[in-house]
A and B are shown apart, each in its own frame.
Chain A
Amino acid sequence: MKTLRIAAVAAAAALTLTACSGTGQDDDGAEDASDLDLTYAVVTHGAPDDAFWSVVKAGSDRAGEDLGVDVEYNSDPDVTKQAELIDAAVADDVDGIVVSMADPDGLEKSVKAAVEAGVPVITINSGIDESAEFGAITHVGQSETIAGEAAGEKFSELGAKKVICVIHEAGNTGLEQRCAGAKSKFGGSMENLQVDGADTTEAKNTIQSALQADGSIDGVLALNAQVALGAQQAVEESGAEVQIGTFDLSEDLIGQIQDGNVAFAVDQQPYTQGYLGVQFLYLNSINGNQVGGGKPVYSGPAFVTKENADEVLEVRQERHPLTR
């Protein structure tokens, strides 16, 4: 596949050169791209049913369609199995790998091995600090700490005094960083609450119990959209005056923001993470580009509030209806 690719790049270059020298031949980029026969692997730590990661997948799938390359998406929340998926992609001789590094230590060996084997790597979503060190071209995502800080400031603006930060995945360092970031910039007091994100009903009940146990809680920071919806139900049923903020979006959640039941969502724009990951690999394959110049490319955070919720919802429904 590799020799074919080099030949194709050479052919494309030759075509471009002749075009420049004014023979008047059309240089059809799209056709050249599919001639390259590129395959990229996207390997993330998302659970298969996670709404957030299905948006990332939609973004990378769309980039694959737009660019005429094959994109194979696989994921596993267990770091050992995720590392095996990376090894499998290298074994499969793919032309590039997009990987999310929720547990960088655990993926170090596999990512470095991929880079050594000459497979270009782009990291997305998490692993911003280790991306360059492991030899990835660039990182696309938001700094969890910066995003957390933004959420903490937002709660201060909303006038909250006591907030609980709901962690839905034990063992995810990114979530811990968000809560720590939020805590550092929040004026009041903030405590973490561990819930089972795989069981949303149970998560709702746990949040409700916390609200019942401590009447002074006036804010809940959820770290994904499903948990935020659970928190909204919990608040409704307990009848307390509690502001809800969250990370990440779903269509139902945007509805709650429009209704004013949820104050804000920090959107790290997962679609762009999936899309740009593949796009940047493509630029590297066809033109040797290293986007980012050694610095991460921030995909967010963007705030979704009552002011812009209508617009955000419209775009989602029109552009990628499958990811609601």
Chain B
Amino acid sequence: MLRRPEVGAAVAALVVFAFFAIYTDTFLSEAGVATWTESSARIGIMAVGVSMLMIGGEFDLSTGTMIGTTGLTVGVLTTHYGVNVWVAVLIALALALVIGALNGILVMRTGLPSFIVTLATFFVLQGLNLALVKAIIGGVAVQGMRDVPYFDSIEPVFATDISLPFGASITISVLWWIAVTAIATWVLLRTKPGNWIFAVGGAATSARQVGVPLFRTKIGLFMTTAFAGWLVGMIDLFSAASVTSAKGVGDEFIFIICAVVGGCLLTGGYGSAIGAALGALIYGMTEKGIVYAGWDSDWLMAFLGVMLLLAVLVNTWVRKQAEVSR
């Protein structure tokens, strides 16, 4: 039990939590909890998808822009072409899955590193998000999303506040985050595809020799990160009722960082979905905790870097202790 990859991250998350809970007044207040859980949830959904892919031995750098692409797709289809918002959301999902599959097929067929293939996808999507959207709607930001028919009917699915019995409230994105983490953990630990993922990430050649469907597994993983991108894209779109061409650019590294903080190895074959979710929690708590602490925001990134490094160090230390104690 102690040797699970997420144990260190859990301890690190507790340390960060305790620090800000004691150091600031706001962190544990109702409104405070609502804010940092929301940031953690959005990053966490994506980090869980990315962690599965990383266990499978690949990277996806197109995840950030995918958030923008799916959001813009729905925004443009509904506000400009008058497509029903539910239909538009499904079209965006299909588009995301196709792009994810394309990423996977390109990686498998060309033998290029996924780092390169998805970097190319990242640039292409970034360009399309700007050029195509500008060409179609003549601007860089989708306007009037709230006036779209049936907006109110779909908003609660992706963006609504849920009151908890003891007074606090959280956004629905937190439930999505928990659900995604639970499903990913179940798949990784309890199903055959889960074994395949560890196998293709740890030892691809021998996995192929024993009959693991390498091609299908990897493509499925790229489609998983694309799905996560779509889900976060919808959460962002319906909570802000707005999306611009620059959406998500630069976020892809944060997801990888969270997966690593949560115990995933950059070399593949090792890690967990719960760990990635905890990594996102550490990131979200730190990011908002720094604001509550009132530290000068010029130093925000420096503080964040130090806190993350400390979190990883605590993480590694705990894991080493666990291994020694065995």
> A residues within 8 Å of B by Cβ?
48, 70, 72-75, 77-81, 83-85, 87-93, 103, 105-109, 169-173, 176, 194
Point out the residue from B32, B140, B146 that lies within 8 Å of A171, measured CB to CB: B140
Q: In the complex, how many angstroms separate the beta carbon of A253 from the nearest chain B beta carbon?
A: 22
Q: Pick the contact of A88 from B130, B247, B292 — CB < 8 Å?
A: B292
Name the contact of A84 in the complex, choosing from B39, B142, B241 (C-beta under 8 A): B39
Known: A48-B298, A171-B140, A172-B140. A88 touches B242 (CB 8 A): no
Q: Is the CB of B241 within 8 A of A171?
A: no
For the complex, give the distance between the alpha carbons of A176 and B245 in Å: 12
**Interface residue B218 (Cβ < 8 Å from any Cβ of A):** no
Contacting residue for A80 out of B30, B34, B239, CB 8 A: B239
9 smallest CB-CB distances across A and B, nearest first, come from A91-B31, A171-B244, A171-B246, A106-B242, A105-B242, A106-B240, A171-B245, A91-B32, A92-B26
Asked whether A173 lies within 8 Å of B140 as measured between CB atoms, the reply is: yes
Smallest CB gap from B32: residue in A = A91
CA distance A169 to B251 in the complex (A): 16
Are B29 and A171 neighbours in the complex by a CB distance under 8 Å? no
CB contacts (< 8 Å) of B139 on chain A: these are 173, 176
Instruction: Give 22 A-B contacts (CB < 8 Å), ordered by A residue.
Output: A72-B297, A75-B297, A78-B247, A80-B239, A83-B239, A84-B38, A87-B34, A88-B36, A91-B26, A92-B32, A93-B29, A105-B143, A105-B145, A106-B240, A106-B241, A108-B146, A171-B140, A171-B141, A171-B245, A172-B140, A172-B246, A194-B130
Which B residues touch A78, using CB under 8 A? 246-248, 251
Further contacts, 7 of them, CB under 8 A, given A78-B246, A170-B140, A171-B246: A72-B294, A80-B239, A80-B240, A88-B35, A89-B291, A106-B242, A109-B241
B246 touching A77, Cβ below 8 Å: yes
**Cβ–Cβ contact B300 & A170, under 8 A:** no
Residue B42 interfacial (CB < 8 Å):
yes
- List residues of chain A with CB within 8 A of the CB of B30: 91
Given contacts A80-B42, A92-B32, contact A108 B140 (CB under 8 A): no
Contacts of B29 in A (CB 8 A): 91, 93
Beta-carbon contact of B242 and A79 below 8 Å: yes
CB distance from A254 to the nearest CB of B (A): 24
Docked CA distance A89–B294 (Å): 10
A32 to chain B, nearest CB (A): 23
Cβ 8 A contact of B35, one of A74, A75, A87, A173? A87
B246–A170 touching, CB < 8 Å: yes
B26 touches A108 (CB 8 A): no
Which residues of B have CB within 8 Å of A83?
239-240
Report Cα–Cα, A138/B259, bound state, in Å: 43
**Interfacial residues of chain B within 120-179, with CB under 8 A of chain A in the complex:** 129-130, 139-146
- Min CB–CB distance A125 → chain B (angstroms): 16
Flag if B297 contacts A88 (CB, 8 Å): no
In contact, A73 and B140 (Cβ under 8 angstroms): no
Cα-based distance from A77 to B245 in the complex (angstroms): 12
Most chain A beta-carbon contacts within 10 A, residue among B30, B34, B35, B298: B35
Measured CB to CB, the closest approach of chain B to A64, in angstroms, equals 12
> Beyond A80-B239, A91-B32, is A103–B294 a contact (Cβ under 8 Å)?
no
On chain B, the residues within 8 Å of A88 by CB distance are 26, 32, 35-36, 288, 291-292
Is B246 a contact partner of A169 (Cβ separation < 8 A)?
yes
Q: A48-B298, A73-B297, A91-B29 are in contact. Are A105 and B241 (CB under 8 A)?
A: yes
